[in-house]
Structure 1
Amino acid sequence: MEIMNREIKITVLTPTYNRGHLLAKLHESLAKQTIKDFQWLIIDDGSTDDTARIVESLPNEKFYMEYKKKENGGKHTALNFSHPYIKGDLVVIVDSDDYLTPNAIEWILDDWDKYKTDKTISGLSYLKMTTERVILSKKPPEPYFISDFITYRMNKNISGDQCEVIRSNLFKSFIFPVFPQERFISEGILWRWIAKRYKTVYRDIPIYICEYLEGGLTKSGRKFRMKNPHGMMENCKSFFIPEIHLSVKIKEAILYDVYALASQKNIFKCISESTAPFLCSLFLPVGCALYIKWSR
């Protein structure tokens, strides 16, 4: 079947920035997929390396590939930019330094056939593992466990990255906030937005392999977040909703105070805009102490 005539059921979305040398490995994992009915959509967030040349050199006779380039603005802006180019009914974000197991697309599409007519289900969530086969998050209590990100993961403190697959129409209906001079906002803000409206099917199998390389967002950690305080404050605000346990909201109130101080804005104005002014005011001394510690 010609690539252009093949039905595209899912979009593998890869935002990338100066990671051209890693794309061949991800491409290889996609070429090995047992089902090829997918689009690989690469969004280049203003790379200054040879990403464009490398992508052009990759063979694309097995699945549909599309490459788009934009000005640098951070991963969240690349996700926003991707919306018009998504062709699949589902979206799975696969970072440029990661790759998929050979049966990943087949697993997703087979599982989705069971739930695609249920409009209360936003998508699927699979386990991630390291190259040493270490699972990064707790397995769900059942092979097909239906819950939502807030109830199942946040309120039960189930940490660790997972591979989320989402309906394209939902993904495209959410726009990540963008703040001038900042390059980061957590993807968690999207999953909490979905959790207030829809359920997710949690699977007990790993399909996504991670390589946490130096210079990546995961490795950049606290220092990187402190440089993007407005985005981090917006992320904290997404926790201040009735569905989330108080203990979680207290932690985020402290972090909100830390990032508000890092923003160099008037702290009391920031607190008044937080949607949880009482908590943020109550724990401001803790936030100040943590800000001083982290600043050092």
Structure 2
Amino acid sequence: MDKKITIITPSYNRAHSLSRVYESLKKQSFKDFKWIIMDDGSTDDTKTLVTEFQNENCFEIDYFWNENQHKFITVFEGVKKVTSPYFMIMDSDDSYPEDSLNTLFHESENIKNQDEYIGVIGNSVDEHGKIVGNIFPVEFDGSIFEMRYKYKVRGDKFGIFFTKTYQNLLKDFDYSIYQGKGYIPQSVFFNTYDAAGFKTRFINKVVRCYHLDESDQDSVSNTRWTGKNTFGLMEGYRSFLNAYGKQLWHYPKTLVRNLVGYQVYSIINKKSLKEINLGLNDFKILSLVMYPFALIYRKIQ
């Protein structure tokens, strides 16, 4: 019989931190879940560690090792394996309050028209118990765009996804084009469904403890702004502009910031102005106007 929730954890050389997730899962008050570990080509002792977890037989654990293809693709390959009604993407170095799964499951079950929703999102705290970013001014059903730009909420959030909705959207998303491209922000995908009108429920409950290990050289949090990741940053800005399109005229600062960001990282990736504009569905004239400023910004960086 299928579990109610599947936990997906993409992992790359995280044997030193994976136990933190495991210990959190063992303590969960909600027990109707399984754990899928998607090993993205680890060369450390991850497999041995996971075997030890499996031998304890506390809950169901599936382990898959793949050649390194980076988190963006690894997550989607994990999502394809989900057969439960709900799933969560847990990073390989965080921890979770004992009632995290229970909270998110019951909030999800309270949504009757789930075909209109992608999931439920709550708050994260840091290792000292302080909220990461902001709480939601109100609990509401709406878009991630509204959360960020109407309510001006910042900081990492965490939640649960509705499998049927997510997998249906993923069928139409060709992520193979990002194979071998390194770091790609998950926003490249969520911008598409968020802009298409699929709603998220935002709740002011703590469902994750975010751990930042500044010494971990494999952590995306510590490497995503470096040179090797500039293609992904370019794509993140481009997907934002193309997904939300003309509604960005109502948020001129956001539009300009993202357009210049797209142009700067395109310049770093040696794209011409013509190529930059070919990548845009809208804002081509504004792009021509802003391009000199992007060149200046790039030079003074």
Return the TM-score normalized by structure 2: 0.88
SS in 2 for 1:163: strand
Q: Which residue of the partner structure matches residue 243 of structure 1? A: 247
Structure 1 letter corresponding to 2:30: I
Measured in 2, the distance between the counterparts of 1:117 and 1:64 equals 30
Q: Which residue of the partner structure matches residue 284 of structure 1? A: 291
The reply on whether 1:193 has 2:201 as its aligned counterpart is no
Q: Which residue of the partner structure matches residue 218 of structure 1? A: 221
The reply on whether 1:115 has 2:111 as its aligned counterpart is yes
Name the structure with the higher helix share: 2
Shift of 1:14: 0.7
Contact 1:145 1:202 in 2 (8 A): yes
User: What are the equivalent positions in structure 2 for 1:54-133 lying under 5 Å apart?
Assistant: 54-59=49-54, 60-133=56-129
Q: Which residue of the partner structure matches residue 149 of structure 1? A: 144
Can you give the 5+ residue segments of structure 2 that lack an aligned partner in the other structure? none
The share of aligned pairs that are identical, in percent, is: 22
Measured in 2, the distance between the counterparts of 1:138 and 1:177 equals 35
Moved over 6 A (4+): none
Measured in 1, the distance between the counterparts of 2:179 and 2:100 equals 37
SS in 2 for 1:97: coil
Shift of 1:133: 0.6
Measured in 2, the distance between the counterparts of 1:180 and 1:104 equals 33
Measured in 2, the distance between the counterparts of 1:71 and 1:278 equals 42
Shift of 1:116: 4.4
Contact 1:179 1:230 in 2 (8 A): no
Q: Which residue of the partner structure matches residue 181 of structure 2? A: 182
Measured in 2, the distance between the counterparts of 1:283 and 1:117 equals 43
SS in 2 for 1:287: helix
Measured in 2, the distance between the counterparts of 1:54 and 1:140 equals 38
The reply on whether 1:229 has 2:230 as its aligned counterpart is yes
Alpha-carbon displacement from aligned partner over 1:21-58 (angstroms, at most 9, x marks no partner): 21111100000000111121111111111111111111
The reply on whether 1:168 has 2:171 as its aligned counterpart is no
Can you give the 5+ residue segments of structure 1 that lack an aligned partner in the other structure? none
Measured in 1, the distance between the counterparts of 2:112 and 2:101 equals 15
Alpha-carbon displacement from aligned partner over 1:234-273 (angstroms, at most 9, x marks no partner): 2212222133323212111101111111112333322232
Contact 2:118 2:198 in 1 (8 A): yes
How many residues matched? 286
Shift of 1:137: 2.8
Contact 2:114 2:162 in 1 (8 A): no
Return the TM-score normalized by structure 1: 0.89
Q: Which residue of the partner structure matches residue 24 of structure 1? A: 19
Alpha-carbon displacement from aligned partner over 1:166-199 (angstroms, at most 9, x marks no partner): 1112333324464354211111223322222211
Q: Which residue of the partner structure matches residue 153 of structure 2? A: 158
Shift of 1:101: 0.7
Shift of 1:68: 0.8
Structure 2 letter corresponding to 1:258: V
Measured in 2, the distance between the counterparts of 1:280 and 1:159 equals 27
Structure 1 letter corresponding to 2:95: Y
Q: Which residue of the partner structure matches residue 39 of structure 1? A: 34
Measured in 1, the distance between the counterparts of 2:176 and 2:261 equals 19
User: RMSD between aligned alpha carbons?
Assistant: 1.9
Shift of 1:104: 0.6
SS in 2 for 1:222: coil
Q: Which residue of the partner structure matches residue 267 of structure 1? A: 273
Measured in 2, the distance between the counterparts of 1:82 and 1:137 equals 28
Measured in 2, the distance between the counterparts of 1:8 and 1:116 equals 20
Structure 2 letter corresponding to 1:204: N
Structure 1 letter corresponding to 2:254: V
Alpha-carbon displacement from aligned partner over 1:137-174 (angstroms, at most 9, x marks no partner): 322233x4212111222344322110032111233332
Contact 2:21 2:94 in 1 (8 A): yes
SS in 2 for 1:238: helix
Measured in 1, the distance between the counterparts of 2:164 and 2:152 equals 29
Contact 1:91 1:171 in 2 (8 A): no
